[in-house]
Amino acid sequence: MRLFPNAHATHPQWHMAAVLVLAQLRAQMALPQYASAPTLGLLYITDHYADDAAALLDLLRRELPTVTDWAGAVGVGVAGNNVEYFDEPALSLMLCDLPRAHYRVFSGVAPLAHGDAAGVGFAAHTALVHADGQTPELADLVAEMAGRTSSGYLFGGVVASRGTQVQLALPAGGEGDGVLHGGLSGVAFDAQVELVSRVTQGCQPIGAQAAITAAQDNVVLELDGEPALDVLLDTLGVTLQGDAQAALRAVRATLAGLEDADAPQRQRTGHFGADTRVRHIVGLDATRSGVALGDHVEVGMRLAFCQRNVGAARADLMRICAEIREELSPQLEEAQALPAAGSAPHAEPAGGRRICGALYGSCSGRGGPHFGGPSAELQIVRHALGDVPLAGFFAGGEIAAHRLYGYTGVLTVFVAPDGAL
């Protein structure tokens, strides 16, 4: 596998943005280190182009005839290499150089079939998933989709748009314009497509983790046997008696990190692991001293109140990038430390397995100024992984393994074995 061609552009007119992207792609595809006949297109557009998604995809299909399969989504922002386009018209496109036998584009129109137990037919190992957040029982659908893969691991995100909620999925020979609404869509990969994926958290716990000892629906009633509302107020150091408005402001800035009862215990004190799902506090139940969350809760789950934290988010993003580099080239951990500010990043690890391309789905609440400056989040990834092809979008929720997340980033890299490039 060679490097995946990728390009990104912004322009008020979608057609001009597409022309700019096509020029970049053709220039790359003429270079020996890039794939010259890629097969799978992953397209991400901001919601400014959502109403023109069908025309945009049709143009790209005509101009890139070797790319027979397409998938993608709309976001309030898109990612391209070390640049984020947030709240502006833009698109980001990566063309994957993968044998067609090793992946399948799926959607409600073209559902993913179960592989034959005897090994006949396509057997999904993992999948890139795009989802519509307005779909009923979405969490159950994601879990069911994970169950269709042999690894149980999905990666992707929930489309985010201030207008039309658009997903893109068009397999080779498929009917229609490839623009979909509702449900799930994406690309399943078999075990021959090697991926490395990590989840990075954007929030930091502000109190001790506690077990949920009483709950009803989405309301936490007790934490370690104590009234949940009392635990929340004590954690924040506020009271509803007196200046209630100050207390409510503190509560509005607070979220809850949930873990299942059987999730591994956190290894790093003061940090969330990949099993933590951050959820909003949606209300306080003064009558029952409960705390209502934006998700169903059960007795036995573990909860820690948390807040968004820029320093913690930056550190955790650098941590997962380092983990990916270590997994690809364990003997080069010291040599592949983050380059000094202003120095040129490495194009890729100087040994071991190589990154052909990367996908990054980040929460729309992390984009923009949250990391301290324009495109700061993506620049961290570039300095850590090097100048590898990268595309992605800012989502209304993130998907990793069999769960829906919030305020996280999901970074996935396509890997070629040593010597394959």
Predicted confidence (pLDDT) per residue in 278-287, tens digit: 999 999 999 9
Closest of 286, 217, 211, 215 to residue 247, by C-alpha = 286
Residue 387 has pLDDT above 70, yes or no: yes
Would 1 be classed as within a structural domain?
no
The Cα–Cα gap between 159 and 107 comes to 14
The residue out of 265, 287, 307 marking a domain boundary is 307
Q: Span 376-390, mean pLDDT?
A: 93
324 and 340 both lie in a single domain: yes
Residue 348 has pLDDT above 80, yes or no: no
Residue 1 has pLDDT above 90, yes or no: no
- Range scoring the smallest mean pLDDT among 39-53, 301-315, 364-378, 387-401: 364-378
Tell me if residue 61 falls in helix, strand or coil: helix
267 and 319 both lie in a single domain: no
**Tally of structural domains, the chain:** 2
Predicted confidence at residue 365, as pLDDT, reads: 82
Residue with tokens 């409960």: 290
Q: In percent, how much of the chain has pLDDT > 70?
A: 90
Would 50 be classed as within a structural domain?
yes
Predicted confidence at residue 369, as pLDDT, reads: 67
| β-strands 277-285, 153-158 pairing | unpaired
The DSSP annotation for 156-189 comes to: EEE---SS---EEEE-TT--S-SEE-SSEEEEEE
The Cα–Cα gap between 11 and 20 comes to 9
Q: How many residues does the chain have?
A: 421
Q: Which residues pair with 204 in a beta bridge?
A: 307
Would 36 be classed as within a structural domain?
yes
Asked if 116 and 107 count as a contact pair (C-beta separation under 8 A), the reply is no
- Range scoring the smallest mean pLDDT among 98-112, 116-130, 223-237: 116-130
The 8-class DSSP code of residue 373 comes to S
Residue type, 269: T
Would 421 be classed as within a structural domain?
no
The Cα–Cα gap between 208 and 276 comes to 14
The Cα–Cα gap between 333 and 343 comes to 18
- Range scoring the smallest mean pLDDT among 21-35, 135-149, 372-386: 372-386
The Cα–Cα gap between 19 and 154 comes to 32
319 and 403 both lie in a single domain: yes
The Cα–Cα gap between 381 and 28 comes to 21
**Alpha helix locations (H) across 51-134?**
53-63
Residue 335 has pLDDT above 50, yes or no: no
Residues 6+ apart with CB under 8 A from 151: 125, 126
142 and 55 both lie in a single domain: yes
Predicted confidence at residue 265, as pLDDT, reads: 75
Predicted confidence at residue 368, as pLDDT, reads: 65
The residue out of 281, 307, 333 marking a domain boundary is 307
Predicted confidence at residue 343, as pLDDT, reads: 38
Residue type, 60: L
194 and 207 both lie in a single domain: no
The Cα–Cα gap between 180 and 232 comes to 42
| β-strands 210-216, 203-205 pairing | unpaired
Closest of 213, 209, 305 to residue 251, by C-alpha = 305
The 8-class DSSP code of residue 11 comes to -
46 and 155 both lie in a single domain: yes
The Cα–Cα gap between 320 and 316 comes to 6
Residue 226 has pLDDT above 90, yes or no: yes
Would 104 be classed as within a structural domain?
yes
333 and 290 both lie in a single domain: no
Q: Please tell me which residue, 207 or 34, carries the higher pLDDT value.
A: 34
pLDDT, tens only, 135-175: 999 999 999 999 999 999 999 999 999 998 999 999 998 88
**Whole-structure pTM value:** 0.88
The phi, psi pair for 321, rounded to 5°, reads -65, -40
Q: Span 11-39, mean pLDDT?
A: 97
The Cα–Cα gap between 352 and 349 comes to 7
Confidence category of residue 263, pLDDT binned at 50, 70, 90: confident
The Cα–Cα gap between 154 and 137 comes to 17
How many H helices and E strands in the chain? Answer: 7, 26
| Domain, as residue range, for 365 | 6-201+312-416
Residues 6+ apart with CB under 8 A from 333: 322, 325, 326
The residue out of 250, 282, 307 marking a domain boundary is 307
Q: Span 25-42, mean pLDDT?
A: 97
